[in-house]
Homo-oligomer: A and B are copies of this chain.
Amino acid sequence: MAEPLRVGLAGLGTVGAGVIRLVEANAALIARRAGRPIVVTTVSARDRRKKRSVDLAPYTWDDDMVILGERPDVDVVVELVGGADGPALACARATIEAGKAFVTANKAMIAHHGLELAGKAEAAKVALKFEAAVAGGIPVIKGLREGAAANAIERVYGILNGTCNYILSTMEDTGRDFADVLREAQAKGYAEADPAFDIEGTDAAHKLSILAAIAFGSRIDFPGVDTTGITRLKAADIAQADALGYVIRLIGMAEAGDGQLFQRVQPHLVPFDHPLAHVDGATNAVVAEGNFSGRLLFQGAGAGEGPTASAVVADLIDIARGEIGAPFSVPVAELEAMEPAATGHRQGRAYLRFMVADRPGVLAEITAAMRDAGVSIESLIQKGRAGDAGAVMVAMVTHEGPESAVAEAVRLLEGSDSLTEPPLVLQILGE
C-alpha cells in the first residue's frame, strides 16, 4: 500500500471532532477506497486545554494553525475554524503557498475569497476542495462539478440552510410563531445564539454564490445575491400558504443567461407536489436543471458532525486518489464575469400579504393599487385579527405576471396609513 495521506486539522469543534472520529472509525475502508491510508497527524485549535469529545493524545499539537501546511508531516490541511477572513484565510493562503492541498467547510471564506484561493491553488497545482461548504453531507459540489459536467446548467436552486428549514417546518407542524420556534431552536442547539447569519439568509447566499459559479462557469458574485431572510414570516402566512396548497421554504435560486447572473435567496411558496415541499427539518436539497440531464435532485443532511465530516473526508479521498482538478470546474481565468441580472421582467406568480387597519375602504385601496399596477389577482383572503392587536391580514396570490408589476403595486401603497407594516412579497416556485 502507498504512503498515507497525512492531514493537519485546524479547528476541533463539532465538525473537527467528527473528522477525527470518522477517519478513525472507517480507517480500513477509507484506505481501500483511497488506495492509501488517510491519517490525521497534527491538530490545532485556539485553546489547547479545552475539554474535547475525542482523545487528542495520538496527534501532534501545533499552536499555530496558519503554518500547519508548512510542516513536513502534513500533506493536506483541513480548515474547520470558519470566518471569511482572519486565521482561516491566512491558513488557506499559507497552505497553498507551501504547495500543500487545502480542504475546507468554510462557505463564507469561499464565497468571499474563493477565486483568489482557486487561482493560487491552480498556479501551485494543488487541490482546493470545499464539498462540505455547501449542503453539508450531500455531495452536490461533486454532483455539479463532475456528475452533471456534460450539461449546460439552466437553473440551480434549493434549500441551503438547515436552521431556516427546521424553523419553517416546525412552524408548519406546530402552528407556532417565528420568534417562539427560533427560541426553541436555539435552546436545542439547532440555531446559534446569534442566529442572524442563518435567519437573514446570509449563509444560504454564501452557498448559492458557490453553487452558481460551479454550475454556470461564472465568477463568484456573493454581493450580487438578492437576499431576504425568514424573519418577517408569521404563523398566519404558513397557515395561509397551506390553505392554498403550498409550504413556505427559504429557497436559494440562480440562473444564468445572456451574460447575466440571477441569484436570489428568499422564502418561496412551494407547491405540495414539488419535491422540495417534502424537505423537512434540517435537511437540505439542491435541484440542478441540465440541458440534457433534466432535473437532478440531491438531498440529505445539511449540517451536523457526521454529515459534514463525511463531505470533508470525501474530499480527502479524492486528493489521496490524485483527483485534483479546477476547484470551480473550469480554471479561474476562464470563469465568466457576469452582470447581476435585472429582475423586473421575470415572470411568475407571487404571494402578497398585508397587515392592515380594520376599517372600511382598506381592501379597496389595496385592490386599486393592484389594478393600477396591472397585477392580476388569482385569489384573495381577508382574515380577522391575526394576533396583532387591531390589525387584519389580507393575503393574495397573483396570476402569472412580471415581478415589476408587483413591485409597482407595493410602491403605490408605500406610506399608506392603512398598512400597519410593509407588505410581504414572496415568489411562488414554479414547475
Contacts and interface: CB of A to CB of B under 8 A. Distances in A.
Contacts of A29: 152, 217
Nearest to A143: B139
A146 interface: yes
A359 interface: no
Contacts of A297: 285, 297-300
A26 B147 CA distance: 15
Q: How many copies does the complex hold?
A: 2
Contacts of A33: 149, 217, 329-330
B150 A317 contact: yes
A314 B32 contact: no
Given A26-B292, A300-B297, A314 B152 contact: no
A30 B139 contact: no
Interface in A118-142: 131, 137-139, 142
A35 B326 CA distance: 9
A309 B143 contact: no
Contacts of A326: 35
B278 A314 contact: no
Contacts of A323: 146, 321, 323, 325
Contacts of A275: 275, 278, 299
Interface in A124-182: 131, 137-139, 142-143, 146-152
Given A26-B152, A151-B26, A330-B32, A309 B292 contact: yes
A304 B152 CA distance: 17
Residue from the set A33, A275, A321 with the largest chain B CB neighbour count within 10 Å: A33
**Interface residues of chain A: helix, strand, loop or mixed (majority):** mixed
Interface in A321-343: 321, 323, 325-326, 329-330, 334
Interface residues of A, number: 59
A330 B33 CA distance: 5
A26 B150 contact: yes
A101 to B, nearest CB: 16
A132 to B, nearest CB: 11
Nearest to A335: B32
Interface in A283-302: 285, 290-301
Q: Considering the complex of A and B, which 7 residue pairs feature the smallest CB-CB distances, nearest first?
A: A139-B147, A150-B313, A293-B310, A297-B299, A292-B306, A137-B293, A296-B300
Given A26-B151, A294-B307, A321-B325, 9 more contacts: A26-B292, A32-B217, A139-B147, A142-B143, A142-B146, A146-B323, A150-B313, A151-B310, A297-B297
